């Protein structure tokens, strides 16, 4: 029995080595370029909203807050339509890093559980990904606030 197991492991190792030799290399330049392009376009869209809100008379701080809300909404909206996931296939990290990617991660996890109902499905699962981020972000902000208070 032990001989049979070692024989299977040797065959798996040979297959893995063969696979590593013949598998195509990922198109690194294309992937990096698309991530840069899409991430940059998302940021340009955000800057457009900031400039528009400032032009409407908001302060730069209020314009930034309004822009964050708009970008989060757009990320959630396009995730619901299935567009953001397709963008993610092309852009990779370029669509994940901006605030719209965070919105996408929350809405995607909630949509997976839609058939379980809006309260126990969507509502409960929405914070599967966001929950830890919110908890650690709040705790970190609290600790930094205490450190800042002690220093000053």
pLDDT (0 to 100) of residue 70: 93
Rounded Cα gap, residues 142 and 91, in angstroms: 35
3-state secondary structure of 87: helix
Cβ proximity of 130 and 105 under 8 Å: yes
Rounded Cα gap, residues 85 and 101, in angstroms: 10
Q: Indicate the average pLDDT of the chain.
A: 82
Q: How many CA atoms lie within 13 A of 58 on its CB side?
A: 15
List, for residues 98-141, the tens digit of each pLDDT value. 788 878 877 777 776 666 666 666 666 666 666 676 677 778 88
pLDDT (0 to 100) of residue 131: 67
What number is the average pLDDT over the span 66-82? 89
Which of the two residues, 68 and 26, has the higher pLDDT score?
A: 68
Q: What is the 3-state secondary structure (H, E, C) of 58-85?
A: CCHHHHHHHHHHHHHHHHHHHHHHCHHH
Q: Where are the domains of the chain?
A: 30-151
List, for residues 22-58, the tens digit of each pLDDT value. 777 778 888 889 989 998 999 999 999 999 999 999 9
Given 3-state DSSP classes, what are the helix, strand and coil percentages for the chain, each rounded to the nearest 5? 90, 0, 10
Kind and range of the H or E element at 135?
Answer: helix 127-151
């Amino acid at each position: 029995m032990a001989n049979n197991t070692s024989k299977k492991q040797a065959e798996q190792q040979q297959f893995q080595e063969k696979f590593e030799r013949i598998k195509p290399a990922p198109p690194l330049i294309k992937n990096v370029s698309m991530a840069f392009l899409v991430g940059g376009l998302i940021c340009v869209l955000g800057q457009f909203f900031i400039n528009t809100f400032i032009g409407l008379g908001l302060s730069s701080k209020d314009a930034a807050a309004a822009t964050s809300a708009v970008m989060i909404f757009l990320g959630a909206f396009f995730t619901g339509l299935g567009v953001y996931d397709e963008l993610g296939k092309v852009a990779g990290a370029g669509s994940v890093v901006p605030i719209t990617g965070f919105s996408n991660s929350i809405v995607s996890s909630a949509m997976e559980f839609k058939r379980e109902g809006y309260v126990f499905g969507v509502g409960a699962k929405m914070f599967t990904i966001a929950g830890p981020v919110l908890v650690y972000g709040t705790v970190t902000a609290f600790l930094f606030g205490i450190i800042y208070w002690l220093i000053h």
